[in-house]
Amino acid sequence: MKFIKGISIVIFLFLFSCNTQNGKIESGQSEWQNIKVSENGHFFQYENGDPFFWLGDTGWLLFKKLNRPDAAKYLDIRKEQGFNVIQVMLLHETGVTDWQGTPALIDRDASKPNILPGNDPNDSLQYDYWDHVEYIVDLAAEKGLWMALVPVWGSPVSADEVSVEQADIYATFLAERFGSKPNIIWLNGGDVVGDKHMPVWDKIGETINNIDSTHLITFHPRGRKMSSEWFHDRDWLDFNMFQSGHRTYNQDTASDSHRFGPDNWKYVQREWSLKPTKPTLDGEPSYEEIPYGLHDPNLPYWVAADLRRYAYWSVFAGGAGFTYGHNSVMQFYRASDGDNKAFGAKSYWTDAMTYPGAEQMHHLKDLMLSVNYYSRIPAQNLILDQSEQYEYQTATQGKDYILVYTFTGRDITLKMGSLQGDSLNVQWFDPRTGDYLERGKVKNTDTQVFDAPGEPVEGNDWVLVLRQEK
């Protein structure tokens, strides 16, 4: 881990009206606190020591598709919903343009950013792609949102459109142009394996890190892959990211994958014990309203309950956060796109913004920030009646609490006694609403069975909350 990452910086922005949650910077205000890796190596924290729980959204084509008013609308809604990180591509392809058709590069050459004189947004001969990126990054900072920037998506690199030399010049441009922004996280890679064109990915990571040592860097890998497979020991990689992908158990048959299917908790288990210790999180699970396996719109589509399962499974297994996605939002599908859409998109992005999954994700963040954050560890050993696939239950424990997630609402059987006290307070937390149901007390001895509300069925998910008596 680079020694100057996380050095305290306080950047004074314009004064904005704001709300804070438990002292954390969750909206634009006069002081911006950087985030860094926590002392135990597994999570993120603000400079003042408060926990930062990554709740991301994939707004991949934001810079390409949205003008200023639409970008503001998107950021406002995601802010209102409790998201704090926006994952977005800078170069989806080497020929990418902004919403008014201005190309990001000259002659599709990554070493030649297309920089126009001036930055009048009403004049396409002045306002270039990078002016637009900077405007949106600054706007996100005003709203207290972090922008996780992918320098270049994996496709053009895999197509040999970006050489090591071009990558060096381009990464230098990015770090010098945006490294001084307070709200930047770098997402090297982009849906790609790291052992192909590795010199390019290393050059981007090293170059950005050498210029911008303040902001965190990770690698966004291909589906059912982990950044740690290739870059865990790199100095430029501060935390790991995996992509659990969009396949069902039956579809996950690729010989070059870990074949975990929706079991994204398995990635966290693998990376939790790696040395040096680094945070990890699911940076791309199945999206809401995208077909199983992505490509066949005749198959069922993933729904909010599936996103909740991915989120709680991975976080309770030890993840430092979670990234949500909606099929139509990530590509900002709109009426004018007609049939020019990907993965069977069915809704316009403006409607999809308020789909149930997006509205429910903040309940997980709220739950995790309500407990003693840094003491939490995976606690699968407490579950005595474990099962597989959708019946699997995940548990996490802190110094004075235990949380257990069940996707189907089946009974939870626990070995008691890991917390102090003769009895524990019992609650059921509803991931759909964030509400708690009080269930009195339970003896903190032997084995106890907890009956979740409702009948066992996929999507009747609940969190068992056990707390020490105060």
Single-letter amino acid code for the residue at 131: D
Is there a domain that residue 4 lies in?
no
Cα of first residue to Cα of last residue in the chain, in angstroms, is 39
> 3-class DSSP state for residue 176?
helix
**What domain range is 450 assigned to?**
379-468
Question: Which residue in 42, 40, 47 sits closest to 5, CA to CA?
Answer: 47
pLDDT of residue 125: 87
Contact yes or no for 288/329 (Cβ under 8 A) = no
pLDDT of residue 10: 35
Which string of DSSP letters, residue by residue, matches 89-113? ES-SSTT-B-TT--BSEETTEEEEE
pTM: 0.93
Mention every residue, 6+ apart, whose C-beta is less than 8 A from residue 104: 90, 91, 96, 97, 98, 113, 114, 129, 130
pLDDT of residue 257: 76
Is there a domain that residue 303 lies in?
yes
Tracing tokens 């909740």 back to the chain, one arrives at 308
Asked if 249 and 393 sit in the same domain, the reply is no
Asked if 428 and 455 sit in the same domain, the reply is yes
Single-letter amino acid code for the residue at 32: W
Is there a domain that residue 63 lies in?
yes
Asked if 259 and 150 sit in the same domain, the reply is yes
- For the domain that residue 253 is a member of, what is the CATH number? 3.20.20.80
> 3-class DSSP state for residue 371?
coil
Last residue of a domain, one of 318, 345, 369: 369
Strands 401-406 and 462-468: antiparallel
Asked if 199 and 141 sit in the same domain, the reply is yes
Asked if 343 and 412 sit in the same domain, the reply is no
Mean pLDDT over 141-162 rounds to 98
pLDDT of residue 149: 98
Query: At 4, is the pLDDT very low, low, confident or very high (cuts 50, 70, 90)?
Result: very low
Contact yes or no for 84/144 (Cβ under 8 A) = yes
Is there a domain that residue 5 lies in?
no
Asked if 62 and 169 sit in the same domain, the reply is yes
- For the domain that residue 434 is a member of, what is the CATH number? 2.60.40
pLDDT of residue 413: 98
Is there a domain that residue 206 lies in?
yes
Asked if 35 and 95 sit in the same domain, the reply is yes
* Helix residue ranges per DSSP H, 13-128: 62-65, 68-80
Mean pLDDT over 145-167 rounds to 98
Asked if 187 and 253 sit in the same domain, the reply is yes
Is there a domain that residue 2 lies in?
no
Last residue of a domain, one of 327, 346, 369: 369
- Rounded Cα distance between 444 and 427, Å, is 15
Last residue of a domain, one of 348, 369, 390: 369
Is there a domain that residue 402 lies in?
yes
Asked if 358 and 400 sit in the same domain, the reply is no
Asked if 252 and 356 sit in the same domain, the reply is yes
pLDDT of residue 124: 83
Residues 387, 392, 397, 400: what is their CA dihedral angle, to the nearest 10 degrees?
Answer: -90
- Rounded Cα distance between 203 and 208, Å, is 8
Kindly tell me if the per-residue pLDDT of 20 is higher than 50: no
Asked if 339 and 197 sit in the same domain, the reply is yes
Is there a domain that residue 3 lies in?
no
Question: Mind listing the pLDDT tens digit for each residue in 250-278?
Answer: 998 877 778 888 999 999 999 999 999 99
Contact yes or no for 78/55 (Cβ under 8 A) = no
Asked if 359 and 434 sit in the same domain, the reply is no
Count up the domains in the chain and report the number: 2
